[in-house]
Amino acid sequence: HGMSFGDFIAINQEKEIERIVGNDLKAFIHRNVYLKDPDKKDKVARDIVLESEIDFAIYRENSHRVVGYFDQGKMIFEGKEEKIRYLFEGKDILGYYSAGYKGEWLTDLEWLSQTRESRFPGVPPNIYHLLSNERVGDIVIVINPPKIPIEFPANHAGLIDTDLMVPILLRGEQLKHLYDREEMWLHNLYTSIPELSFENLEPAREKNSFSFWGSGYGEHNSGFEMSLSPAYRWNFAFHYSDDIYRSWLEYDLYS
């Protein structure tokens, strides 16, 4: 995933969901809202975006249609034969139509190619497939920067470009056929390298390392740790901190 930075506005999603959903709430787990009565998900999703600063409240209407509410309308994703199209009511919140999209059915890769420069890259397949998971909540909520779930200097909880996009660095004979690619779904990277194998790849030894820490304020919190490996799966480590010495020998039974 990517990472968004800035002066964020912290949003307590759990308290907002508990306040709005009330007694209809079964559970709220990391952006997934589970309802005691799933038949109420359309009304609850609409209430969430109208009564809070949560940007999107999304649910699966049926096996081929996903609906997402926002405060100025709703977005609709429909699936057919491994293709998805995007429709909207009210405002085109994703901005795809103003960028040239005309409601056509696109594959996942076509969506990524067409939207990679937008503020919301690849949202239709990302959301549509997420809501296909059998364990997903009745409603999934999303907040976008500058809002974040908790007070961190950086986060990746939204659907915007800085939350989702990362560079991919490629090098090697087995990857040359990918050099001309301008975009790629990260979860499909290894399936794009048919010759790549992870069988019988044993290094001569584990990584050696040395780390040191300390403070310039006169506090006694300096120390160091050293790890040496004579052979694969073997490690000898030495740790010193706060006048306490520790050492150990480690053998990795399975990796």
| Residues 203-232, mean pLDDT to the nearest whole number | 84
**Does residue 218 have a pLDDT over 90?**
no
**Does residue 152 have a pLDDT over 90?**
no
CA atoms within 13 A on the CB side of 49: 25
Confidence of residue 216 (pLDDT cuts 50, 70, 90): low
Q: Which sequence spans correspond to the domains of the chain?
A: 4-164, 209-251
161-175: burial string, b at 16+ Cβ within 10 Å, e else: bbbbbeeeeeeeeeb
**Does residue 58 have a pLDDT over 70?**
yes
CA distances from 229 to 208, 239, 254 (A): 6, 15, 16
What pLDDT was estimated at residue 133? 94
| Residues 162-181, mean pLDDT to the nearest whole number | 87
Distance, in Å, from the CA atom of 165 to the CA atom of 247, rounded to the nearest integer, reads 42
Provide the total of helices (H) and of strands (E) in the chain, helices listed first.
Answer: 5, 15
Q: Is 109 exposed, middle or buried (0-12, 13-18, 19+ CB in 10 A)?
A: middle
Confidence of residue 105 (pLDDT cuts 50, 70, 90): very high
- How many CB atoms sit inside 10 A of residue 41's CB? 22
**Does residue 7 have a pLDDT over 70?**
yes
Query: Which structure tokens are listed for 212?
Result: 């040191």
The least confident of 7-11, 71-75, 91-95, 124-128 is 7-11
**Closest C-alpha among 228, 251, 252, 223 to residue 239:** 223
Confidence of residue 99 (pLDDT cuts 50, 70, 90): very high
**Does residue 76 have a pLDDT over 80?**
yes
Amino acid in position 94: L
**Main-chain phi, psi angles of 154, to 5 degrees:** -150, 155
Distance, in Å, from the CA atom of 141 to the CA atom of 69, rounded to the nearest integer, reads 10
